[in-house]
Chain A
Amino acid sequence: MEIFNPHSNIHFLNLRRYSIAVALVLFIGSIALLVTRGLNYGLDFTGGVLVEVSYAQPVDAGTVRETLARAGYPHALVQGLGGTREFSIRLQPRGAADVRALNQQQGAADQVAAQVIRVLKAARPDATLKRTDFVGPQVGSELRNNGVVAVIFVIIGIMIYLWARFEKRFAVAALVTEVHDTIITLGFYALTQRDFDLTVLASVLAVVGYSINDKVVVFDRVRELFRSARRADSEDVLNRAINSTLSRTIITSLFTGIAMAVLFFFGGPAVHGFAITMLIGIVVGTLSSIFIASPLLLWMGVSKKDLMPVTKENPELARRP
């Protein structure tokens, strides 16, 4: 079975003005969102208390909220966990005043969880505790810093590898598209205000890995075509590289997407965020492989002579007949 015409020669690079413009708009939009709305950091990063309860009988989230408000937790965030019997309750400091209020009322943060359960059980005896989390704020901020360091470390490591294996322009193109993919994925989280927790951070790094995987395949073909072509017109070579890897790019994305969709629908709330990030990352990464990476290479002026095997520059070898 073949979905893609093997002889397709879509002129992707002709679209480069539009594709880069769209990418720029998305990129700047994402940054604007990140600056204005910011990420809705989960408990792992902000510190605070999370309680998950399940009820034997269905219950309304509003009722739970009310019960908690009456007990002195007006800021408790109550969310249903897919159904009307399971809820997550978060008491997360949103500013210094909140921290003070929370603690003055109830003492140490790690006792709040016990108190919440007592309150809920008093109102509805069929409430049972599924899990509780208490994270100290300094642990959270450390994690956030480590996460940023990890992302930078990974991107730089990949750049160095590509610089050595390919050429500096490829490294730069990879860096730019990586940053683009990461920022847009984060932008989605800023837009939807979905919980940004440790698992999501891990998946953002996995997106970096996936997306670079995709680019390297295209770059590899670019290198191969440049080396084998006798008269290499850069634009033509880049376009051919995209076209000949097109079916692979899309089929792999499709297969990985299938696996992630399964995780999204059947994996439960613990890996929900992970699956969503990956799905977005796969789409963004695939598009940037096709529409952004190569135009960048073209603009930076990649040519045949940059990619010829290093041995040619070895004078020892060049002298030989």
Chain B
Amino acid sequence: MTDFPRWKYGLVLVVLLFGILYALPNVFRPQAAVQIQGSSSNPITPALQRQVVQVLRKAGTPDLESTRSGDKLLLRFSNTDTQLKAYTALRDGLGDRYVVALNLASTVPGWLRAIGANAMPLGLDLQGGVHFLLQVDAKSVLDQQMQRYLDDVRDSLRAKHIDYDSLNRRGGTISVVLKTAAARDAARTLIARNDSALQLANGASGNGRYVLDATLGAAELTKIENSIITQNLTTMRNRVNALGVSEPVIQQQGATRIVVELPGVQDTAQAKRILGATATLEFHPVDQSADIEQILKTGIVSPEDRLYRMRDGRPLVLKKKVIASGDEMVNASSGFDPQSGQPTVNVELDSAAAARMFDFTTRNVGKNMAIVYIERIPEVKQVDGKEVHTSKTKEQVISDATVQGVFSKNFQITGLTQTEAQNLALLLKSGSLAAPMNIVEERVIGPSLGQLNIEKGLLSVLLGLGLVLVAAAIYYKLFGLVADIALVFNLVLLVAVLSLFQATLTMPGIAGIVLTLGMAIDANVLICERVREELRNGSTPLASIRAGYEKAWATILDANVTHLLAAFGLMTFGSGSIRGFAITLAVGILTSMFTSVTVTHAITALIHGGRKLKTLSV
């Protein structure tokens, strides 16, 4: 026999089978579908399914198949026209209790999906949609955090009757000015015990002024910053889920940015409202002792208070102290009050805020508590020719209600219209944002462009492949044909590996595939040229094949390793589409090393092994 070991034939067969299996799902084109998403309060019931059938019958757009999984109902349609009509009919027909969204349903057979074989997800440039890059503004959260520590410090000093001259915050530093050194020591021990996250240092002393500075440690700061971005990511995910978009991409990019890609969405305004607006709530005690008219006239507000406006413009003085804020909210949902029938938002707090709420309501039954709705609207301004991203903060008191009883964890907010309650609940349900975000990049790709790109991409891959196949077959005859088989195999394997990783296919990715096809043949060129050389030097055909593969291998390895280095370099500075290209290139180099060398060697050994050869067709 030949010098090609038998186990390698097995390996080639196994890899070939793997390649075909995992590349296969990409042949099945996804089907137009509409997804109806329910919730725990509005589950998908048989009654709803009957209603859906009725709505569809009335619209004249019957579905091909409907499948239910948990809270989701997926309706498949024969084409995008009926899908769109059915979508409009369902959205109007089912009301806003359910999220109705356009979707693409996989048509990959179940047995393929069972082994984890799925089609490659398509990038936005291939299917249309919107892309946002959001910048997370962590500073405002840190500010908020420091304000809360300031309140904590004030409360604990007062509780222990430690007299202080002043207490204020400048940036990330809280300064307490005490009257005596003994008081400072007492305060220091107290704060260290109550707020261990704060780092304390004695400041200037003397003349009856003893300063104590408290700052957040570096470790604590990184911890907060990390938790901010994670919380924002989670929030984004929930908000996007509320939009009902199929297969959205929500990823962290760099330290402070989040990428959001919504395939199929064309209405950026709606998407932006949901993503861009950061609504949060703050619960403040109302200062009923303040003289509003006096404050309006002089503009002087007590340092502990702040002047707010109600939605109708009525002024209201609230204490600056925050009882609870939006990020301490565990859940929020809209509903109706069983007694009054009024729309409400049901709020659930976490334990820390619940304790504060309990504390406050115990001492203040009959007094008023206000809820401030804070909305941040991102803005872009020009300062000295540079774009500066700021955000306009809109603060409104949305409710000024009397505390009816003692409560802590669960309570209701009333005084909203039904739409307001629903909107507020939608934004709050997903967890209020930890930090505001600005849109720094936005791309919209129309669906027709996506379709066109797919067609052009597919044509380029097939035509590129075809021409290289023909050229190789002409130039290297039988060896060329063997290389051609390997090249087709390489394409299958490349697609299989990319599908297995669920790498997103983009236009640059397709360019990478075409480039890989062109370059993968290089290894075969090296081998064929070597074999020719050996033949010219007078070696026997079989010896030429052996020497050709042996000598070419060192070169192929060196060439591919250096090429791989370049691909990794591309990967490290990963903006979405470029990463796609780099990953394709890297995977392509690896698969081509296997197909161009091992696979062709196996086939060549099969053809020429065990025969007496006079010449080689190369």
- A131 to B441, Cβ gap below 8 A? no
CB of B243, distance to nearest CB on chain A (Å) = 19
- B124: nearest residue on chain A (CB-CB)? A131
With most chain B CB atoms within 10 A of its CB, the pick from A3, A208, A271 is A271
Q: Which residues of A contact B508 (CB under 8 A)?
A: 199, 202, 271, 274
CB of B578, distance to nearest CB on chain A (Å) = 5
Q: Does A14 contact B (CB under 8 A)?
A: no
- A131 to B449, Cβ gap below 8 A? yes
- A267 to B511, Cβ gap below 8 A? yes
Q: Does B365 contact A (CB under 8 A)?
A: no
Q: Does B295 contact A (CB under 8 A)?
A: no
- B514 to A205, Cβ gap below 8 A? no
Q: List the count of A-B residue pairs having beta carbons below 8 Å apart.
A: 238
Interface of A is mostly: helix
Q: Does A275 contact B (CB under 8 A)?
A: yes
CB of A261, distance to nearest CB on chain B (Å) = 8
Docked CA distance A135–B276 (Å): 16
- B559 to A213, Cβ gap below 8 A? yes
- A51: nearest residue on chain B (CB-CB)? B444
Q: Does A39 contact B (CB under 8 A)?
A: no
Q: Mark B246-284, 1 if CB is under 8 A from A, else 0.
A: 000000000000000000000000000000000000000
Q: Which residues of A contact B441 (CB under 8 A)?
A: 134-136, 139
Q: Which residues of A contact B468 (CB under 8 A)?
A: 255, 258-259
Given contacts A157-B569, A202-B570, contact A259 B443 (CB under 8 A): no
Q: Does A99 contact B (CB under 8 A)?
A: yes
Interface size counted on chain B using CB atoms at 8 A = 77
Q: Mark A240-259, 1 if CB is under 8 A from B, else 0.
A: 00001101100110111111
Q: Does B572 contact A (CB under 8 A)?
A: yes
Q: Which residues of A contact B448 (CB under 8 A)?
A: 54, 130
Q: Which residues of B contact A52 (CB under 8 A)?
A: 449
Given contacts A146-B573, A256-B519, contact A262 B563 (CB under 8 A): no
Interface of B is mostly: helix
- A161 to B561, Cβ gap below 8 A? yes
Q: Which of B198-206, B409-417, B454-462 sits within the interface?
A: B454-462
- B471 to A263, Cβ gap below 8 A? no
Q: Which of A25-33, A72-80, A148-156, A291-299 sits within the interface?
A: A148-156
CB of A207, distance to nearest CB on chain B (Å) = 9
- B522 to A256, Cβ gap below 8 A? yes
Q: Which residues of B contact A254 (CB under 8 A)?
A: 471
Q: Does B532 contact A (CB under 8 A)?
A: yes
Given contacts A130-B448, A158-B565, A255-B521, contact A220 B554 (CB under 8 A): yes
- B518 to A258, Cβ gap below 8 A? yes
CB of B303, distance to nearest CB on chain A (Å) = 36
Given contacts A6-B532, A262-B467, contact A134 B442 (CB under 8 A): yes
Q: Does A147 contact B (CB under 8 A)?
A: yes
Q: Name the contact of B555 in the complex, choosing from A109, A162, A217, A256 (C-beta under 8 A).
A: A217
CB of A138, distance to nearest CB on chain B (Å) = 7
Chain A, range 220-274, C-beta contacts under 8 Å to B: 220-221, 224, 244-245, 247-248, 251-252, 254-260, 262-263, 266-268, 270-271, 274
Binding site for B on A (CB under 8 A): 1-3, 6, 47, 52, 54, 96-97, 99-100, 103-104, 108-110, 113, 128-139, 143, 146-147, 149-151, 153-154, 157-158, 161-162, 165, 198-199, 201-203, 205-206, 208-210, 212-213, 216-217, 219-221, 224, 244-245, 247-248, 251-252, 254-260, 262-263, 266-268, 270-271, 274-275, 278
